[in-house]
Structure 1
Amino acid sequence: MSSQISKTARYIDLQVNGYAGVDFNADSLSTEQIRHACDAMRNDHVDSCLATVITDSLDAMITRISRLADAAESDSEIAGVISGIHVEGPFLSPVNGYVGAHPPTAIREANRSDAERLVEAGRGRVRLLTLAPEQDRSGALTRWLSEQGIIVAAGHTNASLSELDTAIDNGLKMFTHLGNACPPEIPRHDNIIQRVLSRAERLSISFIADGFHIPMLALRNYLNCVPDENVVIVSDAISAAGLGPGTYHLAGQDVHVDEDGAAWAACRTHFAGCATPVQTMVGKLQSELGIDDRRIDQWTRINPAGLLAAC
């Protein structure tokens, strides 16, 4: 077991909202800013990522997806780091707690017409879409997206076990940042965390391992419930990643990063993305949970690469 972060380790991050002062959801985002974020990620050992566009009006999301696709098409350095786009929303739960930092007014039921517009905006670069299975009860959109070669993840959801199973049967491959995007108080036994863990043999499950989104003692328990081949570590990074305390932006929202490094929404009731780079998360997994290099590599590189290669 390594006692420190390997200087040669490289990572694949499936959820990056921004980095190093750059917000991928900003309306003013430029190609130069995207290149700066990519350079910073590469310096922090991230070889590739999925740039993440979160819930907003459909037109705003389409514009942001298209802008990221334009940048990757026009700049080989950007394309070398941003290997695709993760669309998180707008087909999420609107219920307080589950909706997280996504604006409830922009949430909508899953439908193919809207999904087609989002996918077309990416011109083949949308690789992952997170939705709430209860917004797609028949599983029809999940099946269609899967048929397009897009990884479908559940997230920001209070799906029942039956709804989860329907989604899995229709191609659901993943769950987005388990242990987050749910209310602080939930039923003790029948809750979304327990339901997903009961399907850990059938789903890849991503975790934000910053120690804030999930306390490390709870993260240890979750990781013990999931087969190594199904664990994926994501940063959920925002523009604050790697910059320290201060006020930053995520899709028009102010996010305050405190002295400990936690990224809070303005209301201070929930987190809004994350300010911790993957390499810092790796250090915590090693020093606080004793995770060895083999599992670190599997969770941060091999497993996310496998998901991308399979679709």
Structure 2
Amino acid sequence: MNATSPGYIDLQVNGYGGVDFNGDEVSAESLHAACERLTEDGVSKILATIITADVQAMSRKLARIAAIRQQDPLVAKVIAGLHIEGPFINEQTGYVGAHPRDAVRPADVESMQRLLDAAEGLARIVTLAPERDPNFQVTRMLAGQGICVSGGHCNPSLDQLDGAIDAGLSMFTHLGNGCPLSMHRHDNIIQRALSRSRNLHIGLIADGVHVPWPALGNSIRCAGVERCFIVTDAISAAGLGPGHYQLGEREVVVDSDGATWAADRSHLVGSSGTMPQVAANLKHHLHLSDEDVTRLTVTNPQQILSL
């Protein structure tokens, strides 16, 4: 981004520059420092993302960020809102991803309202599994309040996906991730989501690790640039290089290629990427135009925030 360009907008940031947004005791000073680092990297707005834990712990973390934001103009400027990812996701291996299985649960209106109350009006996106939302009650509840409902870490049938869309589902979180390495070659959640991309905004992680470049390019071509947006899914390791980091209670190992692994190397946990790296990747590996890169990293996510 040059000085006259609009800043990047990242709708899924779990941490940045050594700061874990999912830590129990994230401080005002550390959150301010993370926002300074984001600004230096050309990012104008993010959604701070809180992932699955028990509802009480998630509520505490959401309330902490909301409280700091009220007191710090820079944090308020950079953190446009909150993305609640879980706990209403699919608990099966692969689909649960890096989320703690013991905290995953079916969706219910009372628990969702507790999380919204803790977020103090800042919830902008909630990622859930449609098949874990009985009668799509929580989806309807959120859509009725103008909150974007996104499918993710899920495996709904096509009928369930259509039912969720009818109830207000309008987005899909990091397509190609939050699903097993081995699935049916044709009948899988990636294909189902892409088949409904006229009705869904499709989120993608563009680091070349989470989704190989040919698959990422295919998804963008299938859904269309106008329906896609790019996130980093950044954790505290973002911009810092190899080492050991935290995401909530989990230890994360970043290797020499920038891949962010669980301590046992069984699966990826977030990303160490930054939006400038993402933009360079899209140009270099997918040969996208500057206009298309801007649509994916600025224009489209801004439109989602404005819905």
Q: TM-score, normalised by structure 2?
A: 0.98
Corresponding residue number in structure 2 for 1:28? 25
The alignment partner of 1:173 has SS state of: strand
The CA deviation at 1:33 is 0.5
Residues 270-289 of structure 1: matches in 2 within 5 Å?
270-289=267-286
Rounded to whole Å, the distance in 2 between the matches of 1:53 and 1:267 is 23
Corresponding residue number in structure 1 for 2:16? 19
Corresponding residue number in structure 1 for 2:67? 70
The CA deviation at 1:227 is 2.0
Rounded to whole Å, the distance in 2 between the matches of 1:109 and 1:142 is 12
Q: What letter is aligned with 1:160?
A: S
The alignment partner of 1:139 has SS state of: helix
The CA deviation at 1:8 is 4.8
Rounded to whole Å, the distance in 2 between the matches of 1:203 and 1:249 is 32
Q: What letter is aligned with 1:24?
A: F
Rounded to whole Å, the distance in 1 between the matches of 2:107 and 2:141 is 11
Residues 170-249 of structure 1: matches in 2 within 5 Å?
170-249=167-246
Rounded to whole Å, the distance in 2 between the matches of 1:95 and 1:267 is 18
Provide runs of 4+ in structure 1 moved above 6 Å.
none
Q: TM-score, normalised by structure 1?
A: 0.97
The CA deviation at 1:7 is 6.0
The CA deviation at 1:308 is 1.1
The alignment partner of 1:62 has SS state of: helix
Q: Any idea what the Cα deviations from partners look like across 1:248-300, whole Å, max 9, x if unmatched?
A: 00001100000010000112111100001011011011011111111111111
The CA deviation at 1:137 is 3.8
Q: What letter is aligned with 1:306?
A: Q
The CA deviation at 1:114 is 0.1
1:309 aligns with 2:306: yes
The alignment partner of 2:169 has SS state of: coil
Corresponding residue number in structure 2 for 1:159? 156
Rounded to whole Å, the distance in 2 between the matches of 1:283 and 1:6 is 13
The CA deviation at 1:85 is 0.4
Corresponding residue number in structure 1 for 2:136? 139
Of residues 89-98 and 260-269 in structure 1, the stretch that sits farther from structure 2 once superposed is 260-269
Rounded to whole Å, the distance in 2 between the matches of 1:212 and 1:202 is 27
The CA deviation at 1:218 is 1.1
Q: What letter is aligned with 1:180?
A: N
Q: Any idea what the Cα deviations from partners look like across 1:113-149, whole Å, max 9, x if unmatched?
A: 0000000001101111000000014111101101111
Rounded to whole Å, the distance in 2 between the matches of 1:295 and 1:71 is 35
Q: Percent of counterpart pairs with the same letter?
A: 48
Q: Any idea what the Cα deviations from partners look like across 1:184-236, whole Å, max 9, x if unmatched?
A: 00001000000001001110010000000001111111111012221110010
Corresponding residue number in structure 2 for 1:43? 40
Change (3 A) 1:135 1:123: same
Q: What letter is aligned with 2:252?
A: V
Tell me the C-alpha RMSD between the 2 structures: 0.9
Rounded to whole Å, the distance in 2 between the matches of 1:228 and 1:219 is 12
The CA deviation at 1:6 is 5.0
The alignment partner of 1:138 has SS state of: helix
1:253 to 238, 250, 253: 250
Count residues with an aligned counterpart.
306
Rounded to whole Å, the distance in 2 between the matches of 1:275 and 1:200 is 27
Rounded to whole Å, the distance in 2 between the matches of 1:210 and 1:6 is 22
